[in-house]
Amino acid sequence: MRRNQHHMLTDTNTEEQDKAFHKQTLGMEERWGQLKPSTPFETLWDRYLSSPRSKAQLKNRKRWQVAFSAFMILIAMGVTAVFTSPEVRAALAQFPFMKMLLKDGGFDDFGLSKIEKEHLGVQVDQSVTDKGIRFKMDEVFYDGVQIVLNYDVEYLDKKGKIDAKDASVYYHLDVIGADPTIMSTHKFTILKDHTFIGSTLIDAYQYLDGYQLHMKISQIGRVKGDWSVTVPLSVDKTSSHTKTFLPNKSFVINGIKRTVERITMTPVSTQLVIKSEDMEDRRLSYWMQDNLQTRFQGAGGLGGHGKSIQNFSATSVINPYPDYVEILVRENSTDSIVLEDQTEQTVLLDGHFPIELKGEYGGKVTITKVEYTAEGTTVYYEASDVSNQNPFLLLVDSQDRHAHLGQPIRLSRDKFIFKMKYPVVDTHSPVHVMLNMNKYKPGFEPQEPVKIKIPLDWSKP
């Protein structure tokens, strides 16, 4: 049921996107003038792909890469939306879309929780009933980088409780009047006997403010019908909190010139655009960190026709307006990565802290506290250096091995102190913490990346 939809990245698409972002930047309000706030690369991509962390996270990433198809079929359909009425707000409040989406770790947060917390979505009321099933679009979020659709579905005539096969929506996506490159995925959650909610997440590699998105729904659960809706895409809710930088900074690696064209930072996303002289340039990997060396979490991307577009998480809570970012660049290569084995360190969580674990490259990870609540588990830790800020820590109880939910949250500007969220664990049985690491053959030295420093002037519109 879940597939990918890929369109070739065209110069027209990216040029239009850059022009639109540039226009938006020039028209930004002077509020940015008031927002000014008072270093080695350990995670080698090829090592990462072969690590246990990779297998856990790539399983989640497949939700994007093996996601539901978004076929581009131009279908004009007019549906009137009613925005932000009290009735819609009341109805929307009963459905915790982002909480359910992020609950079990199937989706990384990357700032998505801010949509509900900061009311960044546009509330709509589009309802279609067919074959005894009501589909209602409740909320649309768009920040110029990604789209989130939140909706609820109710079986009006069903006598028994719905099951997982009933809680599914089959759809095609179409942006009317545009042909962007799109990747989409979704999650459905049963809330009541006859009701489930859904969230569809869409990466669209073209600026689509002012366009309409058509969601052609041909089947819900086991029932075929037509519940299609069309919704407007608007950055009105996020534009005042979005900043676009146009560095135009060039660098040369192996004789090929690349240029950092654009960095866009929204409340939920960060997007990096790099142009290359080589039209088929796919030789490099790009990562980012801020001036405190806090890493941006990768959220996918694509390349072609001399451009690479990479999506990352939003800036950190502790450093929302960094003085600069560093783009970390390394060559895609596998022959320099020599894995010998993978090691595990397991320690019982018996209430005695701190717990010191051996980290990457001679560093360490020190667990200072673990909190257990009805909502989940939180692990607090300090990394000795930048290379160990995102360790692959698992919590192990009698039921399962639990990976962390979302990205680590940094708590200190001066030290690498973080907290990570986990699901609820069985505290009636012994709970252990496990740290997985890669062991390399003797003589292995990690490749240092090329660092491109990009100053960020938040005072300019």
Residues facing residue 370 across a β-bridge: 379
Half-sphere exposure in the Cβ direction for 352 (13 Å, CA): 4
Is the pLDDT confidence value at 99 over 60? Answer: no
* For range 300-314, the mean pLDDT: 83
- What CATH number labels 241-337+446-455? 2.60.40.1640
- The tens digit of pLDDT for each residue in 13-35 reads 445 555 555 554 444 433 333 33
* For range 96-104, the mean pLDDT: 49
Q: Does residue 45 contact residue 342 with C-beta atoms inside 8 Å?
A: no
CA 347 – CA 365 distance, rounded (Å): 13
pLDDT at residue 21 in the model? 52
DSSP H or E stretch at residue 13: helix 11-26
Neighbours of 62 (CB within 10 A): 13
Sheet strands side by side (includes 416-422): 355-358, 364-372, 377-383, 416-422, 405-410
Is the pLDDT confidence value at 86 over 60? Answer: no
- The tens digit of pLDDT for each residue in 115-162 reads 777 888 888 889 999 999 999 999 999 999 889 999 999 999 888 899
- What CATH number labels 11-240? 2.60.40.1630
Q: What angle do CA 289, 290, 292 make, to 5 degrees?
A: 110
Q: By CB neighbour count within 10 A (0-12 exposed, 13-18 middle, 19+ buried), where does 433 fall?
A: buried
* For range 254-264, the mean pLDDT: 92
Is the pLDDT confidence value at 69 over 90? Answer: no
Provide the pLDDT confidence category of residue 357 given band limits of 50, 70 and 90: very high
Whether pTM exceeds 0.75 = no
Provide the pLDDT confidence category of residue 403 given band limits of 50, 70 and 90: confident
Which candidate, 144, 103, 97, places its Cα nearest to that of 119?
A: 97
Is the pLDDT confidence value at 229 over 70? Answer: yes
Among 108-117, 229-238, 377-386, the least confident range: 108-117
* For range 294-319, the mean pLDDT: 86
